[in-house]
């Protein structure tokens, strides 16, 4: 039995998220598992490096699975891309050592958030970004972002659905860049709680709108109270961009 690693891209707009939750057809994981199970003739389970939320996209989701087959790597990849819906694509597939585990071996992840920051709407990106029609103060947002760096208990920036034993996560970097009407926010860390990135971006938006002051961030984090975080950014603007092993 071989262990296979996949690099996957998907438009998460019509799915309940990555993780299979009983109804496999409404999750990315479920869609891929259904195709692999049909191919292998037995039930196949896949492990993803990140459980993206409902509506969230991925430029580079990493997953692994184990099956016994005489098919080559190229044949397996071709089979998946033939039978998966066209909003899910397998970019790469390779055999890896048996000990490789997509979730446990991931060292850090980068999420990208796209904000369309113009007064008018962007019809072509309305499903792939959040529209903020008021001008955002980027300098204050960058100041606020610095307070998230390092290791913190991010309970305040999690969702009630988070069931992790530890709510401590380390954020390595946050960048904020304006480009052609978009504001690109990248958050890189060792891992993220449920809804954590969307809540951090929501807070940064509120800082940019002068609703929250940058120096209020440490107190919000220390409070461990979810009600303190306010706005949660829309799922449509979030992408799992990069995973390092």
Catalytic residue numbers, as ranges: 53
The candidate with the shortest Cα–Cα distance to 63, out of 77, 75, 82, is 77
Please say whether the beta carbons of 91 and 25 come within 8 A. no
Phi/psi at 219 (nearest 5 deg)? -70, -35
Give the integer Cα–Cα distance in Å for 63 and 108.
15
Give the integer Cα–Cα distance in Å for 204 and 232.
10
The number of helices, as runs of H, and strands, as runs of E, in the chain is 5, 10
Give the integer Cα–Cα distance in Å for 185 and 171.
13
Eight-class DSSP state of 150: E
Cα→Cα distances 208→42, 128, 235, 243, Å: 52, 21, 19, 28
Give the integer Cα–Cα distance in Å for 156 and 229.
7
Give the integer Cα–Cα distance in Å for 131 and 209.
13
Give the integer Cα–Cα distance in Å for 21 and 29.
9
The candidate with the shortest Cα–Cα distance to 6, out of 17, 14, 18, is 18
């Amino acid at each position: 039995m071989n262990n296979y690693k996949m690099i996957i891209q998907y438009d998460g707009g019509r799915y309940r998220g990555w993780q299979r939750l009983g109804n496999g057809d409404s999750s990315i994981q479920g869609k891929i598992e259904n195709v692999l199970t049909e191919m292998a003739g037995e039930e196949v389970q896949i492990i993803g490096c990140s459980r993206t939320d409902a509506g969230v996209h991925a430029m580079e989701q990493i997953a692994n699975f184990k099956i016994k087959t005489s098919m080559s790597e190229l044949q397996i990849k071709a089979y998946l891309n033939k039978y998966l819906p066209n909003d899910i694509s397998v970019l790469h597939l390779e055999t890896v050592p048996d000990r490789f585990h997509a979730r446990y071996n991931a060292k850090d992840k980068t999420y990208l958030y796209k904000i369309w920051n113009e007064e008018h709407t962007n019809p072509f990106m309305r499903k792939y970004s959040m529209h903020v029609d008021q001008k955002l103060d980027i300098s204050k947002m960058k100041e606020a972002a610095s307070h998230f760096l390092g290791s913190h208990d991010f309970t305040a920036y999690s969702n009630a659905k988070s069931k992790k034993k530890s709510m401590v996560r380390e954020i390595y970097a946050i960048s904020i860049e304006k480009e052609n009407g978009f504001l690109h926010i990248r958050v890189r860390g060792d891992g993220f709680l449920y809804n954590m990135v969307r809540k951090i971006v929501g807070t940064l938006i509120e800082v940019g709108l002068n609703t929250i002051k940058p120096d209020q961030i440490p107190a919000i984090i220390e409070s461990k109270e979810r009600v303190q975080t306010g706005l949660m950014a829309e799922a449509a603007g979030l992408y799992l961009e990069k995973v390092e092993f």
